[in-house]
Structure 1
């Protein structure tokens, strides 16, 4: 184990080398690195006493909290796998996650959805966030654990609904630490870096900065979900260096602070608008100069390529992380010449360990010795990469990826629906919104409102169609919908990479 370095090891070392540094801020909770290490050790012991062992899964059902980081680090210490589930999902979606992962323990925040799930599951250990969770941590008898290899999966993030259901991408400590190290170099993070976890921690975009902040020995500040006024307050109070912000979120924060009530100058961030730029400190790191550009996905730990490594380059996805290799491959697995389009494929230190319980998919995604991202790209003559778009059609609404197959499956479960296809239509605020084209069963009747409500009972609200067009039949290309024709007929467009 002399060459191994797990997330748990990183924390343990910070507890020795940064005894006075604040590791975590969450409301009234403030923990130094030694205090966080103590809690993580006790939590790991308590989970072990509840039967959680190496390879077992632990699920978090709730909004952002410092418990998310504690649970991840405790699982790293145990050799278990931690999954922060998407709390915005429907009961049906979350029930699928629990059935799929078969967790040994679930830590949950009460809501209509989670309370129903809890009531129907007598086989799993459920611990309610808050008092019960704190009692769980306190109950742990501090003991030493055998070292866990850094190549063991420790984080599961659900992504990529290729066939209408999502898959849990497994990331090891080695991959997460490698990605964090690359990110902190491109972002030029230094000791004292403070990150505001206001984006969802079930999303790799927030998690990757949370872990990079841990890696550099900085401070992670947690807030349950994005609220522009609260983001302003926390930036000033905690001297936040960076937050999970983009587009509409930046506009909302700027509007919340248009009176200048809060001092946001500690935030070293990307230039956005005159109003925003006057409030913050424009950061000169490669990450911020390039407008946080690049190409990534959960399966590569976050970012595979960085525009910040290719300032002035031809390809708007930039150049690969120093810890990976990227190839543009044709269907036969051979590299296509520069200027030609192929699939973006990769291998290297930051890549995931495969999908949980998906042996056939794992085999398909790793043919020819490379991880196949499912996205199309092109290498430019100067060696940079251009992202073209997903091989499997995807809709981008705000920061969320929506797979048509998932929404189509939900629509087809309605008794009146014979067939359905989903497209993305341009939206000035959200980039795209979901539109469904539906063919009904003979003599069946339903309404747009009824179908949208039906989808909302099965999927997260952001995935529901905003508009529905009723047609006699869905045009097909073989067995699949003819999406190009549907786009032309029903106003689709603005897909990622287009």
Structure 2
């Protein structure tokens, strides 16, 4: 295979090591690495993984909070053709057990937690993040040869639990580079760009900025998890340009810095409130000026369309990235005319490679030569796009996606529950909250607190119902709940795109 046209993530790092020898690539607590230092560590880590038997297509799993080691593992996987999956460390044991059995990783790098220790299986090499990881890396022989196929998957992110279980979306080198290039353009990243990973790296929104910063030759600053005071400290100390923040997080940071203890002026961010705007530098880039608007999903690398590419647009999802095509198709695969609603379908450089180990689902998602997103949209008269909402119901609580089928499955595993349906209800702080409508088995008893606790034992905490109502029956459309009727009767609303 000719390598003259390739550009893998490992190639990006190697080029920065030559072209930006004095630039700080990562900051993580006491760890500060220039691009040459990061490249040297990644080269040894790749050798250590290869010696462990990790090769083309094999999976490496990260189970922990944010760390520079996530980026190191991704770049080391890039050198040897492997795939890194940073998984949600907040998952319950049942969810983690599913990920481990589904992904079958050869190496797991983890941070101690009761949930992980409860399900830790045999068959993989387990490395504790910290001293054990550092010894493993140091023992690796520098691997100078590079994997040459930039179309191959390198990153897996679990998403899309519409059938009750999530699927790992596989993103290739070329797709990640293409998406990063589009984001770099819309966000107008310049030399010195510094990104604070205040959101989780298992979330595409954080990862896409981390990789765009890498492509731009900027600095990635890692913090384990969101803490408003620590965000303020790091922005001040590292002069961060961008951070992963949205509404409630911005409010928390503004409150933490109410006395002006920290200088946040380096943060070139979206306007939010007078208090916030006075603390930061309100950015005039297309990304920030448009309130970070657009439409995206994990399967497209983050953003498919940007409102920043369509100032004054009629459609609040804006226009597609320059590296993709978007069509709105009906059920037969025919493009619908402007003004009519169709499924958002896409193809292009930043589209994912399919889901890991889901051949039938992949065939369905890629039918007709297009990625079928499962979401509905409308083309406006000016050619811009409006996102209508998922064709299957999804709840957006804060910045987290909650799929009703997943919560319903957990509820129905309780011995007292005969049937259940889940809707989203408006929430002033989080946009939506999860509400469960539950039918109990004859002669059985369970209260709201018991059912909420049961779900919390099986799923991540943010997925548990905040509200529970009991009913005699769940209205149905065929075999699935009639969500429109449930919304009307139980106060549902505020869905994405609504």
Tell me the TM-score range normalised by the shorter chain. over 0.9
Which residue of 75, 86, 103 corresponds with 1:101? 103
Partner of 1:423: 423
8 Å CA contact 1:76–1:148 kept in 2: the answer is: no
Partner of 1:68: 70
Partner of 1:143: 143
Cα displacement string for residues 8-30 of structure 1 (whole angstroms, at most 9, x for unaligned residues): 00000100010000000000000
SS in structure 1 of the partner of residue 354 of structure 2: coil
Matching of residue 397 in structure 1 with residue 360 in structure 2: no
Alpha-carbon distance, 1:117 to partner: 2.5
Quote the Cα distance in structure 2 between the aligned partners of 1:8 and 1:347. 25
8 Å CA contact 2:389–2:497 kept in 1: the answer is: yes
Structure 1 residue ranges (4+ consecutive) displaced by more than 4 angstroms after TM superposition: none
Partner of 1:456: 456
TM, length-normalised to structure 2: 0.99
Matching of residue 156 in structure 1 with residue 166 in structure 2: no
Cα displacement string for residues 413-449 of structure 1 (whole angstroms, at most 9, x for unaligned residues): 1111111000001000000000101111121111111
Partner of 2:318: 318
Partner of 1:178: 178
Quote the Cα distance in structure 1 between the aligned partners of 2:485 and 2:69. 48
Which residue of 62, 66, 88 corresponds with 1:86? 88
SS in structure 1 of the partner of residue 355 of structure 2: coil
Quote the Cα distance in structure 2 between the aligned partners of 1:29 and 1:418. 53
Matches within 5 A, 1:49-60: 49-60=51-62
Cα displacement string for residues 290-343 of structure 1 (whole angstroms, at most 9, x for unaligned residues): 000000000000000000000001000000000000001111101000000000
Quote the Cα distance in structure 2 between the aligned partners of 1:14 and 1:226. 29
SS in structure 2 of the partner of residue 375 of structure 1: strand
Matches within 5 A, 1:317-336: 317-336=317-336
Cα displacement string for residues 207-237 of structure 1 (whole angstroms, at most 9, x for unaligned residues): 0000000000000000000000000000010
Quote the Cα distance in structure 1 between the aligned partners of 2:219 and 2:409. 42
Alpha-carbon distance, 1:147 to partner: 3.1
Which residue of 6, 14, 19 corresponds with 2:8? 6
SS in structure 2 of the partner of residue 251 of structure 1: helix
Cα displacement string for residues 237-263 of structure 1 (whole angstroms, at most 9, x for unaligned residues): 000000001101111111111101000
Cα displacement string for residues 73-123 of structure 1 (whole angstroms, at most 9, x for unaligned residues): 0001110000000001111101100100000010000011122233xx221
SS in structure 1 of the partner of residue 304 of structure 2: strand
Partner of 2:409: 409
Partner of 1:219: 219
8 Å CA contact 2:46–2:143 kept in 1: the answer is: no
Matches within 5 A, 1:231-246: 231-246=231-246
Matches within 5 A, 1:380-391: 380-391=380-391
Unaligned ranges ≥5, structure 1: none
Partner of 2:271: 271
8 Å CA contact 2:162–2:404 kept in 1: the answer is: no
Alpha-carbon distance, 1:467 to partner: 1.3
8 Å CA contact 2:156–2:169 kept in 1: the answer is: yes
SS in structure 1 of the partner of residue 344 of structure 2: strand
SS in structure 2 of the partner of residue 465 of structure 1: coil
Partner of 2:38: 36
Alpha-carbon distance, 1:144 to partner: 1.9
Partner of 2:20: 18
8 Å CA contact 1:439–1:473 kept in 2: the answer is: yes
Quote the Cα distance in structure 2 between the aligned partners of 1:270 and 1:70. 30
Quote the Cα distance in structure 2 between the aligned partners of 1:418 and 1:113. 28
Quote the Cα distance in structure 1 between the aligned partners of 2:322 and 2:467. 44
SS in structure 2 of the partner of residue 226 of structure 1: coil
Cα displacement string for residues 365-389 of structure 1 (whole angstroms, at most 9, x for unaligned residues): 1111110000000000100000000
Alpha-carbon distance, 1:146 to partner: 4.0
C-alpha root-mean-square deviation of aligned residues, in Å? 0.7
Alpha-carbon distance, 1:143 to partner: 2.9
Unaligned ranges ≥5, structure 2: none
Q: Greater shift after overlay, 138-147 or 397-406?
A: 138-147
Partner of 2:441: 441
TM, length-normalised to structure 1: 0.99
